Amino acid sequence: MKFKSDLGYYQNVHAWREYSSSSPKTDYESLNESEKAWLRAFNESLRQLENKFYPIMAAKHKELQARIADPADWLAEFNLDCLITFYLREDDPEYEKDDDNILMEIEVMYLEQNLPGRDPDRDWGFGATHVDHAESCQDFPSESHCYLYHQLYDHCYMDWRDLFRIECLYVDIKIEEQSGMLPVIQYEQKT
């Protein structure tokens, strides 16, 4: 299974969930040591990616907040997201020469740790690389999983063997700048 270009992001995630529920699961303990070592190295590379891009997103968030605070700037609201796209290996059976060959995408919304209504002592999500996102899972007693790795196997419904199909990834930081509601001149209807 891979992302289908004729489906939207959430439709693809739903399709992966449906596919996962009807497919046999690979037990982590059934993997050989070489496969487990590759997965640990992959997890570490994703952790490094988070360490690299989270500060970039934090700086962009700060810049955008400053623009909102500036009464001379038109910016009233914004969305700051990071889209990580995972691509198939060229030797994968589903690889097609004239296709995007996207295996999975993870969309991450930037959330500042101290936003109103959030517990500032509760770290989680993209960029919280000091946190073990494997949570209290008994399957990984000696491993600490970063957010992206956890997302792939737990929330994107990917099997361990699907992760071996990834050749490369692409990071796209998306900023949507919004004016908010702007008044217009009222039209006086004559009767």
- Condensed to tens digits (0 to 9), the pLDDT of residues 126-173 reads 877 777 777 656 666 678 889 999 999 988 889 999 999 999 999 999
- pLDDT at position 114 is 40
- pLDDT at position 184 is 86
26 in any annotated domain: no
Query: For residue 121, is pLDDT > 50?
Result: no
Domain region containing 125:
9-18+31-178
How many C-beta neighbours within 10 Å does residue 17 have?
12
Instruction: For residue 2, give every residue at least 6 positions away whose Cβ sits within 8 Å of its Cβ, in sequence order, or none.
Output: 88, 94, 101, 102, 103
25 in any annotated domain: no
**What's the pTM value of the predicted model, to 2 decimals?**
0.84
Q: How many domains does the chain have?
A: 1
- pLDDT at position 137 is 61
What are phi and psi for residue 28, nearest 5 degrees? Answer: -55, -40
187 in any annotated domain: no
159 in any annotated domain: yes
Sign of the CA dihedral running 49, 55, 56, 57: positive
